[in-house]
Amino acid sequence: MTLTGIGVHSGNPAEIILHPAPANHGVSFLRTGTPTGNDRLIKAHYACVSATELCTVVGDNETGAVATIEHLMSALYGLGVDNVLVEIDGPEMPILDGSARLFVQAIDGVGLTTCSAPRRWIKVLQPVRIESGRAFAELRPIDRGFRLDVEIDFESPVIGRSRKAMDLTPAAYRREIAGARTFGMMKDVERYWKAGFALGASLDNTVAVGETAVVNPEGLRFPDEFVRHKILDAVGDLALAGLPIQGAYRSYCGGHRMNVGILQALFADRANYAIVEGQGARREPARAEYGAALGLAAFAAEL
């Protein structure tokens, strides 16, 4: 499947092609159009993260990087896609409408195939926690599945304090998370521009927050869209564990840096986790309501 758009920070056009990949391949980015002229393969893994300011970046600027990967990674994790090769011709993923909805619709349009190999996942064995000022993130063991509990607390009265908890399943992800858009403060726009960020941001791909109200004429998609988008980002960043997680994630005033940081803390001690293997796999049927198939299918399996 192919998608095109512009990067929310660079403003540059980008095209991505999602290719099927075999079992145990994981998610990788094939970066073309690099500064060196050589294509570069970058693993979607926390160890390859080079920046977490306003977005998550893998690779490096000298030999080739891919920025703002969190929305696509979130869609892949949310739908249970374990193996895919993402070909991209520029340094930043297209932002599309600012959410993961169009990625989800495109993936559902081509459908998923279950791999023959048993699925592996990361089982959290003991609590892991990191803190930064008043912010914190933690992972805890649970009996099954992956649960997220995310809380935000902004000074802006438009956003304020909000908390949402959910068990991550493809159905819940499609319904509750995929459509939540990225957001930013109007008062910060000039500062972002000077720092080289948000050059492609617009009301078509970002919820713009004014002093007293949301600027977008259509308003919010959900009353608590802000915290839902923070969950979307957390799912995408935690997908960089390399395997799905069996555990519970909790964060307060977190972000990309904290999301990646909790993975670093988890893997810093082998006693924190185990790699376990399933005895079988099942998946949801392909979602036909988004229209005819658009291209090749991405392989996936869902516990």
For the record, the structure tokens of 6 come out as: 């512009």
25 is catalytic: no
Q: Compute the distance between CA of residue 294 and CA of residue 2 in angstroms, rounded to an integer.
A: 8
Distance (Å) of CA 83 to CA 44, 146, 180, 246: 11, 19, 24, 18
Binding residue per annotation — 71?
yes
- Under 8 Å between Cβ of 146 and 257: no
Q: How buried is 157 (Cβ within 10 angstroms: 0-12 exposed, 13-18 middle, 19+ buried)?
A: exposed
- Under 8 Å between Cβ of 165 and 148: yes
- Under 8 Å between Cβ of 183 and 207: yes
pLDDT in single tens digits along all 303 residues of the chain? 999 999 999 999 999 999 999 999 999 999 999 989 999 999 999 999 999 999 999 999 899 999 999 999 999 999 999 999 999 999 999 999 999 999 999 999 999 999 989 999 999 999 999 999 999 999 999 999 999 999 999 999 999 999 999 999 999 999 999 999 999 999 998 888 888 889 999 999 999 999 999 999 999 999 999 999 999 999 999 999 999 999 999 999 999 999 999 999 999 999 999 999 974 343 444 443 333 222 333 323 222
SS3 label, residue 289: helix
Q: Which of 9, 25, 45, 256 is catalytic?
A: 256
SS3 label, residue 222: coil
Q: Which amino acid is at 253?
A: C
Binding residue per annotation — 9?
no
**pLDDT in the model for residue 298:** 32
Return the closest-CA partner of residue 244 out of 284, 302, 157. Answer: 302
66: CB partners within 8 A, 6+ apart: 29, 31, 42, 57, 58, 59, 88, 91, 92, 93
3-state helix, strand, coil in the chain (%, to 5): 25, 30, 45
SS (H, E, C) 56-116: CEEEECCCEEEECCHHHHHHHHHHCCCEEEEEECCCECCCCCCCCHHHHHHHHHHCEECCC
Please write the tens of the pLDDT for every residue from 105-127.
999 999 999 998 999 999 999 99
Q: Which amino acid is at 249?
A: Y
For the record, the structure tokens of 186 come out as: 């109007």
pTM of the full structure:
0.91
Domains identified in the chain and CATH numbers: 2-271 (3.30.1700.10)
Please write the tens of the pLDDT for every residue from 46-88.
999 999 999 999 999 899 999 999 999 999 999 999 999 999 9
DSSP string covering 131-155: EETTEEEEEE--SSSEEEEEEEE-S
**pLDDT in the model for residue 194:** 87
Radius of gyration of the chain (CA): 18
**pLDDT in the model for residue 190:** 85
Binding residue per annotation — 149?
no
**pLDDT in the model for residue 120:** 95
SS3 label, residue 301: coil
Return the closest-CA partner of residue 110 out of 26, 19, 177, 175. Answer: 19
**pLDDT in the model for residue 196:** 86
Q: How many helices (H) and strands (E) does the chain have?
A: 6, 19
Return the closest-CA partner of residue 253 out of 161, 139, 156. Answer: 161
Residue 238, φ and ψ in degrees, nearest 5: -70, -20
